[in-house]
Amino acid sequence: MRIEGKREALEIECADIGGSTIHDANLAGSRIDDCNLSRVAISRANLAGATIDDSTMPGARFHNMNLGGANFEDVNMNHVIIENANLTSVVIRDCKIDGMYINGVSVVEMMAAYQAKAEGQK
C-alpha cells in the first residue's frame, strides 16, 4: 500500500508493517504504543519534545545527536559508552556510579579523594 500526498490521521492497530519505509512525512503529535521497533533506523528526524517512556533499548546506537536539554530519569545506563561527547554543564545526581570511569579514572575513587580533601580543609 502506498499513501502519498495525503493529510489524514491513520490508526494502525494489530498490523504487521515491518520493513516499511516512512520518508519525508509529518508525524508530529503521533503516538507509538506497545510496538516492536527493534532494529528501526531513524535518521534526520526532528524529535524535539519526544517522550520515550517504559521502553527497552539495549544495543541502541546514538550517533551525531543533539540531546541538549534532555532529561534521563530512572534509566538503566549499565555498560553505556560515551565517546567524543560535549558534556558541558551536565548534572549527575543520586546515581549509582560503581565501575564508572572518566578517561580511565575511577569516578568512585575520584569522589573519595575529593571528599577526603574537602574534609581536610575544614
The pLDDT, as a whole number, for residue 7 is 76
pLDDT(30) > 90: yes
The pLDDT, as a whole number, for residue 71 is 93
- The percent of residues in the chain predicted with pLDDT above 70, rounded, is 100
For range 69-78, the mean pLDDT: 93
The pLDDT, as a whole number, for residue 1 is 76
Give residue 109's pLDDT band: very low, low, confident or very high (50, 70, 90). Answer: very high
Distance CA 72, CA 6 (A): 36
